[in-house]
């Protein structure tokens, strides 16, 4: 029987939908596979197209890898976005927890972002810079900070990422520092950057910029 439920007519995807589908497949695979080891043959096969047709949508292997990296960067930002309904310090804490957990789960991918491992293209750093810049903007907004604090908060995120990468390199069942302790440590560092030696930032009770 033609066009039965068990043999549906395949819907022809638009070029944009096909690119989105291919990137989605790539994203699902780099969860467990270093991006430089991602098989384009396997991606094309899962999409039901030929390898040659994949290159119609992404001219080179690097273009496809970069599209996947950019999509992963956007996913990081979605997963680490705080609730604007929470008080500022709670927003910062939720961002910290989410970012450290993201790095812990996707350490190999994050190393690609930071060091460009496996993808020798300067555009990788643009994705990384975007993740850090947006994260910095979120902390600035949450704590109502003056623009003069931007470079300090930006540098603080670099410190958080470095600590998280070191922490995630340890076996999960042998870590001497808990996630809660690491988050608290990073909060204290941010507080010290805020200008007090007490571990309490000068902005700890500030609301959004322009409020008390």
Q: What are phi and psi of 65, to 5 degrees?
A: -60, -45
pLDDT at 44: 96
Decide: 82 and 91 in contact? Cβ < 8 Å: yes
Q: With a threshold of 0.85, does the pTM exceed it? A: no
d(C-alpha 114, C-alpha 43), whole Å: 25
Q: Does domain 15-193 have CATH number 1.10.357.10?
A: yes
How far is the CA of 82 from the CAs of 40, 61, 114, in angstroms?
35, 34, 23
* Cα 103 from chain centre: 8
Closest to 146 in 3D by CA, of 189, 203, 63, 212: 203
Report d(CA 52, CA 59) in Å as an integer: 10
Closest CA to 93 of 201, 212, 210: 201
pLDDT digits (tens, 9 = 90+) for 109-161: 777 666 655 566 677 778 888 999 999 999 999 999 999 999 999 999 999 99
pLDDT in the model for residue 209: 37
Q: Are 157 and 135 in contact (CB under 8 A)?
A: yes
Tell me the CA end-to-end span of the chain in Å, nearest whole number.
Answer: 71
Segment 11-39 mean pLDDT = 85
Q: Directed axis angle between helix 61-80 and helix 15-29, to 10°?
A: 70
Tokens matching residue 47:
């999409």
pLDDT in tens, 94-114: 999 999 999 998 887 777 666
- Residue-level pLDDT at 13: 83
Give the three-state DSSP class for 37: helix
Instruction: Write out the two tokens for 71.
Output: 């999509």
Q: Enumerate the domain spans of the chain.
A: 15-193
């Amino acid at each position: 029987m033609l066009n039965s439920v068990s043999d549906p007519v395949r819907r022809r995807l638009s070029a944009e939908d096909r690119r989105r589908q291919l990137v989605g497949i790539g994203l699902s695979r780099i969860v467990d596979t270093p991006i430089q080891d991602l098989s384009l043959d396997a991606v094309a096969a899962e999409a039901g197209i030929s390898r040659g047709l994949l290159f119609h949508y992404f001219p080179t292997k690097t273009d496809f890898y970069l599209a996947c990296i950019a999509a992963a960067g956007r996913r990081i930002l979605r997963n680490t976005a705080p609730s604007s309904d929470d008080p500022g310090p709670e927003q910062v804490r939720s961002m910290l927890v989410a970012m450290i957990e993201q790095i812990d789960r996707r350490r190999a991918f994050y190393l690609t972002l930071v060091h460009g491992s496996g993808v020798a293209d300067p555009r990788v750093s643009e994705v990384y810079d975007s993740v850090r810049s947006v994260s910095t903007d979120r902390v600035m907004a949450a704590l109502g900070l003056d623009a003069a604090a931007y470079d300090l908060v930006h540098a603080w995120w670099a410190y958080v990422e470095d600590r998280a990468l070191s922490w995630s390199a340890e076996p999960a069942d042998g870590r001497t520092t808990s996630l809660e302790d690491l988050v608290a440590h990073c909060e204290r560092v941010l507080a010290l950057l805020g200008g007090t030696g007490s571990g309490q930032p000068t902005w700890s009770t500030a609301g959004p910029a322009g409020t008390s």
